Structure 1
Amino acid sequence: MENYVIESSKVIPHWLPGGDIFWYQLKLPGSGHDSVLVNALKATRQGGFAEDTLGQEVERLMGRWIDLKSLTEGDMEWNNPLDNANLKGRFLNTEVASPYAASEVSIQFLNRCSSPVTIEWIDHSCEPVWRGVIEVGKIGHFTTWNGHIWRIHVKEDPNLKVLYAAPKEEDKDAIVIDDNLLRGEDGARKSKNDTGFPLISIRNGTVWSTYEDGDEQILANNDSETELYDEERIYISPDRQFAVIWQYTPEHDHKMHLVESSPTEQLQPKVKSIHYLKAGHQVRVDRPRLFDLSQRKEIPTDDALFRNPYALTNVGWNKSGEEYRFIFNERGHQHLRVIGISVHGRVRVLVEESTKTFIDYSTKLNRHLISDTEEIIWASERDGWNHLYLYDLRQGVLKNQVTTGNWLVKAVSRVDEKTRQIWFSGCGMVKGQDPYYAQLARINFDGSGLTILTDGNGTHSWKWSPDYRYLIDTWSRVNCPPEVVLRDGNTGAKILTLQESQLARLADSQWNAPEIFSTPGRDGVTMIHGIIIRPANFDANNKYPILEEIYAGPQGYYTPKAFSNYSWYRGWADRGYVVVKLDGMGTNWRSKAFHDVCYKNIHDAGFPDRIKWIREAAATRPWMDLERVGIMGTSAGGQSAGAALIHHGDFYKAAAADSGCHDNRMDKIWWNEQWMGWPVDKSYEDASNVFNAEKLQGNLMLIVGDLDDNVDPSSTFQFANALNKAGKIYEMLLIPGGKHGCGHGQYGQMRQADFFQRHLQKKQQFSCI
């Protein structure tokens, strides 16, 4: 019943020309299908179509027969006036309006030109819609509809362009855009430089400028092996009078060595070495340098505002070519700046972020550049919540805060530069609802006109019609199957229900729903949200051991919010446990203060909130046994599972730690320096399971694979070594050939089931899954 409800609630629309009518297919029990035809303009929904009857109805609506060879997404052929027999995309000679299309596809363009290219979508009125800029050597990824038209042109010269019609099916290969393609159909490269401007190249570390008359000159000579020029980071001004070229010092060449103990193709073990930077290692250091191409010389610039970078991100030249811009992320992630370098060599700050903890660059660096008005929409947590701000880049000043309130912007979905409106995914926008539930909202650039377009007490996902006039809104909760509603794309007003929630049918089938539970955390105020999953044969008269599945990585939140069968959690519950999942302080997508708990404090993992939550849930649920609490986790969750017995061994009695990073100095640089800071200090030692191994209480199972290239397997071995020296008893499972998360394989799951059965259910007999 559960699988039927989930599958038959999915609405994948196939829009017909005109943009008011679409059809979708429902999966019925067994192998049956039902096709539904929707007229958004008339607010009608007709179901029960078989393949032939749907084709007849479509012929009546469209005035011509459509061959419906398949009812799966991506197979409809009536919407593309181009060569529909060709499943690949194609280049066009003439610019035409994008047709109304049947299915979404993803495309990617690889820029092999000598300068950045601008990407524009040609809308249904044959008007270009700016979608981004792809720098030299980079790939741009876009979501579109089959047959939609895209214009790719040199950023500073729209006449050098090519037109591309998206394919009917996703093409995983990147579409290569090079100078030959942009200069004409014959693709012939001219034998000499007749662009009227110099061409920049890097040969053997030396920067060369080649001029119209064939003359070549060295712009910068470099004999150093540590100060190199990057041939993929050459940014030429729109008038081609200036160029910024990035010089860099390479990152530390640090290898992680893995020993494959049991290779399949030979008897003897093999050694595999991979490049792997860890916290504290030397990163690549970039330094943009400015050149005057007409004067054939470098213009000196001061790097005081962007020394000690963790990374720089190109923004590009402004439209007038007066200033080059980039983002500076300082090592330690406490300062973030948008920096401008004028053609005169002046360096200034345009946007600046500063914090005493960390700037969440890895999940919240959300920006949208508006080239024509030299503005940028910028995400920041400066007021305690992740919100949008509008900056004037000409003056380098804040114009206004766009969104505000005790809720946050999770992602920007769409920006209309003409109407100056933003569509975004927001969390915590509806008072009284779970603050993690996502809503779609719209707001004007000046902060006025905030409108929530979705409705329903649950988390939302949505699909737009090709012209954005209509919105298909799907919402659900873990204890409520999806409801799907067609809405007006501008106002959010409900047009009609496409699929009703089938909660009543599940209730009639005695469905064992996950239970949502919330209670204040350690501060007595901030609500902590989680779920409880009981066994299928649950008996309220019994007492069940509690098993928590933990992942507390600060990059996200992890308690499920949308409806699903959650078979993995249920599988563990059906072995005789009450399974709990929750997000404590230190995880993401709440307030800045909520998130900051993790700073230099990874071992906290929200445990004060978790333990309080479990105790308060059990206070009104006598079938939850607080004397038998276990915990399991993978990766960062493996680190937390180990920490549970080190710092809270009086509460947790057994822990299975799979592929854990047990010392943050042993793990990947970006993740650990983002949350633990730089330089590496005593906080890394304090958070280390290895350093604190002597504090271990309870029953621990360590799981590791010898081919884990995500978290160094030595992290687990060093933890084991420290436990040995401390005289601690524990179990260890080494899986030959195992990669990251190998404990989730069949054998790993079997061994964990046996481990928890022995230590939480007090059953000695080995149990297989």
Structure 2
Amino acid sequence: MKNISLLVIIVSAFAFLPICAGAQSFAPYQPTAADEKIAYQQAAHLDSIIRGKAYKTTVKAHWQADNKSFWYKNYLKDSTVEFIVVDAVKGTKAPAFDHAKLASALNKYDARHLPITDLLIEKSALKFSIKDQWYTYKNGTFTPIPSPQTTTPQTAFREISRWSFHDDNASSDTSSPNKEWISTIQNGNVFLKATGTADSIQLTIDGSADQPYGALQWSPDSRYFVGYHIRPEKIKSIHHLLSSLPDQTRARLDTEEYAQPGDPFTSFEMFIFNPSDKKVIKVNTPLYDFLGKPYLRWRKDDPRYFTYEKADRGHQRFRIIEVDAGNGNTRNLVDEQTKTFIYESRIFTHYLEATNEIIWSSEKDGWYHLYLVDALKGTIKNEITKGPYVVRDIDSVDEKKREIWFRASGMNAGEDPYNIHYYRINFDGTQLVSLTKENAQHSLSYSPDRTYYLDTYSRPDVAPVTTLHRSADGRQLMEIEKADLRDYFATGIRLPEVFTAKARDGQTDIWGIVCRPSSFDSTLRYPVIENIYAGPQDAFVPKTFMTYSEMQSLAELGFIVVQIDGMGTANRSKAFHDVCWQNLADAGLPDRILWIKALAARYPYVDTTRVGLYGTSAGGQNAAGALLFHPEFYKAAVSACGCHDNRVDKQWWNEQWMGYPVGPHYAAQSNVTNAAKLRGKLLLIVGEADNNVPPESTYRVVDALIKANKDFDLLVVPGMGHSDGGPYGRLKKRDFFVKNLLGVTPPDRN
């Protein structure tokens, strides 16, 4: 492994040496109340001193106009700064200027604390900005100047940002592009008139105020326009009672729209209007009845045709549909169907107008990959990326060179399959170029013309390194910075360990991290706390270096704190992700339990008889569910703002994973339905102003627990939104685990 400091290797290796004796010979870690009070103090002290002790962890390049050099700022000990300039062509770096001389000339600032926010480094002078005022510095003197004008170099690359294929713009076109026609909506119907005339022709008669036509859009050549017969559905409301408003003696009721699973959507029936013969043609396509109206793309070389994208409700079918505006006929250019789910928010499409092609993403072969579609024939020309790895994102498309720049994970054998690496590939799937090599998580930033890029890579157990590369072939030109961790390790902090174990299938690797107390004694057995979030929309175990984490802070109280991505989460194979389908109560818990048991098998100081977990939102659902569905393993849980019943939570998220229509499986997996199964210790936290997950999701669990005569703790935070409880909630969480896993009374703060 390259560019890992010897200090990091020594500390990591020393911290995680396995103990060979059997776990039965280890006494449980059992502090006294006095010991634990000291632990709280030490944890708070570490929290206060650890911040700002890791230097040179990031490099933000400010490229100069020539695209051959850049400057950046290093943050060093005691909040001091230094400015560095890099010559990418020569592969050299040096101070951007003489800090002492400039500070002396300014006669206001310390050379180590210059508050410069921007620089322009020219041959004859230095230009810099302080507090939005620019100066020029030359021959030992500086002069105020106007803000310099800068230009952005032109590039053939098209930066990609994900966008919804639904058109949220509810306005209608009125004038045609050639300005010869005016279309309007009157009393819910479509009217048309020639520009400059008074008389309008009514084109529809079945519109009304309750079910109007609308959202008109003209074709670029003004031969047609599209409109919809709209059947509106009012979104139902949720309510919040805000109890503790300042300067008020009464609570306030807040109401907002909030769609829940099964609620109806406004639907759009598509029609084509032809100004030349005044004909109205109903498009031969189903109602667009999910998440608004579609975004239309008219074919550039023949605007008689347009396409739109349609994801069916239930998330099991996705189509790119072409419409012939001349007759209303349609055909499917892409028609993907699955028995589980299509992850709608990760659908990627990029339209190549010049060649009538589409770049489209799909998991049709079991992995998230890119395909090149012939938009005229409606066939797949080729699979662009292929193999047992996941395309994670698309950075840019070079339509002239027919190249895609993208990120992927899982391509590099022998390393964490979640690590993001960067690549370039041709549209036809040839000439795959890897831009990143090291076994780590990578983050790239490019020069404006993409001639060069900076690669910052790290892992939870590897400090950040930033290197400069040439984009043409990925060649490394120089190392820019390596994080300085001497003061960081002097605090006694431990780096997390990256740990893997087999999933429930006995084959798939499950990845996670382990945090241990800095005062860790390997001859004692420590309780385990899992930080859980099994929301299927992503994976959540950190993959980069963390200068501070709440997990490590919690570990300082005498716990081994872990975080794991079990089956049912994203960024692995389609089969790995499909475990969550109509199965959110699973939460990957069988994999997490096996992972913790494997950790204990390797390290006998891991006590699997004292295991707790905490989480927020979906993690709150998971944490409470662990006590309901796996009480034989989990003994204590802190559940904050949990979406405990997927019928109560937001529509778009829950139907994506639990499906539509709402069936009995929703109730079967609800923490409300299963509340009477509670064993172990449970703390529920909820904010009364949560507009992400309605507070009644938690209150219904409370109601069911009371009716089942169960013992539990509840913290309601007045005025709080969707949160883990804030500082007070986090304090109560620590006290809860200290009391219920360590058996120690927390410090008395009164």
Q: TM-score, normalised by structure 1?
A: 0.82
Aligned residue for 1:674, secondary structure, equals helix
Indicate yes or no: 2:739 matched with 1:752: no
Q: How does 1:245-324 map to 2 (within 5 A)?
A: 245-304=227-286, 309=290, 312-319=293-300, 320-324=302-306
**Alignment gaps of 5+ in structure 1:** 79-83, 90-97, 101-122, 141-177, 180-188
Distance change in 2, residues 1:48/1:37 (3 Å): closer
Contact 1:546–1:579 (CA<8 Å) still a contact in 2? yes
Indicate yes or no: 2:330 matched with 1:347: yes
Tell me how far apart the structure 2 counterparts of residues 221 and 77 of structure 1 sit (CA, whole Å): 70
Letter in 2 for 1:756: F
Aligned residue for 1:220, secondary structure, equals coil
Higher mean C-alpha displacement, 63-72 vs 412-421: 63-72
Match of 2:72 among 6, 24, 46: 24
Indicate yes or no: 2:38 matched with 1:8: no
Letter in 2 for 1:702: L
Aligned residue for 2:128, secondary structure, equals coil
Deviation at 1:665, TM superposition (A): 0.5
Letter in 1 for 2:285: D
Higher mean C-alpha displacement, 710-719 vs 598-607: 710-719
1:360 counterpart residue number: 343
1:78-102, Cα deviation, whole Å (9 max, x unpaired): 9xxxxx9579x9xxxxxxxx835xx
Aligned residue for 1:263, secondary structure, equals coil
Deviation at 1:25, TM superposition (A): 1.0
1:611 counterpart residue number: 593
1:399 counterpart residue number: 381
Contact 1:325–1:338 (CA<8 Å) still a contact in 2? yes
Contact 1:6–1:564 (CA<8 Å) still a contact in 2? no
Tell me how far apart the structure 2 counterparts of residues 569 and 272 of structure 1 sit (CA, whole Å): 35
1:167 counterpart residue number: none
Letter in 2 for 1:379: S
Deviation at 1:249, TM superposition (A): 2.0
Contact 1:475–1:484 (CA<8 Å) still a contact in 2? yes
Q: Which has the higher contact order (CA 8 A, sep 6+)?
A: 2
Q: How does 1:102-501 map to 2 (within 5 A)?
A: 123-124=153-154, 195-215=178-198, 216-231=200-215, 234-304=216-286, 309=290, 312-319=293-300, 320-344=302-326, 345-362=328-345, 364-501=346-483
Indicate yes or no: 2:78 matched with 1:40: no
Tell me how far apart the structure 1 counterparts of residues 102 and 492 of structure 2 sit (CA, whole Å): 36
1:685-731, Cα deviation, whole Å (9 max, x unpaired): 11101111121111111111211111111111111111122221111
1:240-287, Cα deviation, whole Å (9 max, x unpaired): 111112333223431111111222231111111110010111112222
Match of 1:68 among 116, 120, 128: 128
Higher mean C-alpha displacement, 516-525 vs 500-509: 500-509
Tell me how far apart the structure 1 counterparts of residues 186 and 271 of structure 2 sit (CA, whole Å): 17
Aligned residue for 1:604, secondary structure, equals coil
Contact 1:544–1:576 (CA<8 Å) still a contact in 2? yes
2:140 counterpart residue number: none
Aligned residue for 1:405, secondary structure, equals coil
Deviation at 1:193, TM superposition (A): 8.8
- Corresponding pairs, count: 678
Aligned residue for 1:30, secondary structure, equals helix
1:531-586, Cα deviation, whole Å (9 max, x unpaired): 00011221212221111111000001110000112331122111211110010000
Deviation at 1:754, TM superposition (A): 1.8
Deviation at 1:669, TM superposition (A): 0.2
Q: How does 1:604-753 map to 2 (within 5 A)?
A: 604-741=586-723, 743-753=724-734
Letter in 2 for 1:200: S
Tell me how far apart the structure 2 counterparts of residues 293 and 129 of structure 1 sit (CA, whole Å): 36
Distance change in 2, residues 1:604/1:316 (3 Å): same
1:53-112, Cα deviation, whole Å (9 max, x unpaired): 7999x999734423213499x98999xxxxx9579x9xxxxxxxx835xxxxxxxxxxxx
Tell me how far apart the structure 1 counterparts of residues 601 and 628 of structure 2 sit (CA, whole Å): 25
Distance change in 2, residues 1:134/1:578 (3 Å): closer
Aligned residue for 1:645, secondary structure, equals helix
Contact 1:5–1:481 (CA<8 Å) still a contact in 2? no
Contact 1:286–1:309 (CA<8 Å) still a contact in 2? no
Distance change in 2, residues 1:419/1:198 (3 Å): same
Contact 1:329–1:337 (CA<8 Å) still a contact in 2? yes
Aligned residue for 1:719, secondary structure, equals helix
Aligned residue for 1:603, secondary structure, equals coil
Contact 1:659–1:716 (CA<8 Å) still a contact in 2? yes
2:513 counterpart residue number: 531
Distance change in 2, residues 1:298/1:426 (3 Å): same
Deviation at 1:397, TM superposition (A): 1.0
Letter in 2 for 1:264: P
Letter in 1 for 2:264: Q
Distance change in 2, residues 1:99/1:307 (3 Å): closer
Contact 1:518–1:527 (CA<8 Å) still a contact in 2? yes
Higher mean C-alpha displacement, 647-656 vs 127-136: 127-136
Match of 1:590 among 544, 568, 572: 572
Letter in 2 for 1:690: V
Tell me how far apart the structure 2 counterparts of residues 502 and 387 of structure 1 sit (CA, whole Å): 38
Tell me how far apart the structure 2 counterparts of residues 59 and 701 of structure 1 sit (CA, whole Å): 52
Aligned residue for 2:295, secondary structure, equals strand
Contact 2:177–2:220 (CA<8 Å) still a contact in 1? no
Indicate yes or no: 2:529 matched with 1:547: yes
1:504-556, Cα deviation, whole Å (9 max, x unpaired): 77667754110110011111100000000011221212221111111000001
Tell me how far apart the structure 1 counterparts of residues 298 and 563 of structure 2 sit (CA, whole Å): 47
Higher mean C-alpha displacement, 259-268 vs 597-606: 259-268
Distance change in 2, residues 1:768/1:637 (3 Å): farther
Letter in 2 for 1:691: T
Contact 2:189–2:202 (CA<8 Å) still a contact in 1? yes
Tell me how far apart the structure 1 counterparts of residues 265 and 70 of structure 2 sit (CA, whole Å): 51
Contact 1:195–1:212 (CA<8 Å) still a contact in 2? no
Tell me how far apart the structure 1 counterparts of residues 102 and 86 of structure 2 sit (CA, whole Å): 12
Higher mean C-alpha displacement, 310-319 vs 380-389: 310-319
Contact 2:157–2:399 (CA<8 Å) still a contact in 1? no
Distance change in 2, residues 1:556/1:133 (3 Å): closer
Contact 2:288–2:294 (CA<8 Å) still a contact in 1? no
Tell me how far apart the structure 1 counterparts of residues 158 and 462 of structure 2 sit (CA, whole Å): 39
Letter in 2 for 1:764: T
Deviation at 1:382, TM superposition (A): 0.3
Higher mean C-alpha displacement, 9-18 vs 546-555: 9-18
Distance change in 2, residues 1:252/1:654 (3 Å): same
Question: RMSD in angstroms over aligned alpha carbons?
Answer: 3.2
Distance change in 2, residues 1:759/1:285 (3 Å): same
Q: Which runs of 4+ in 1 moved over 6 A?
A: 52-56, 58-61, 74-78, 127-140
Distance change in 2, residues 1:129/1:507 (3 Å): closer
Tell me how far apart the structure 2 counterparts of residues 5 and 404 of structure 1 sit (CA, whole Å): 43
Contact 2:176–2:218 (CA<8 Å) still a contact in 1? no
Letter in 1 for 2:129: K
Tell me how far apart the structure 1 counterparts of residues 163 and 597 of structure 2 sit (CA, whole Å): 52
Contact 1:311–1:330 (CA<8 Å) still a contact in 2? no
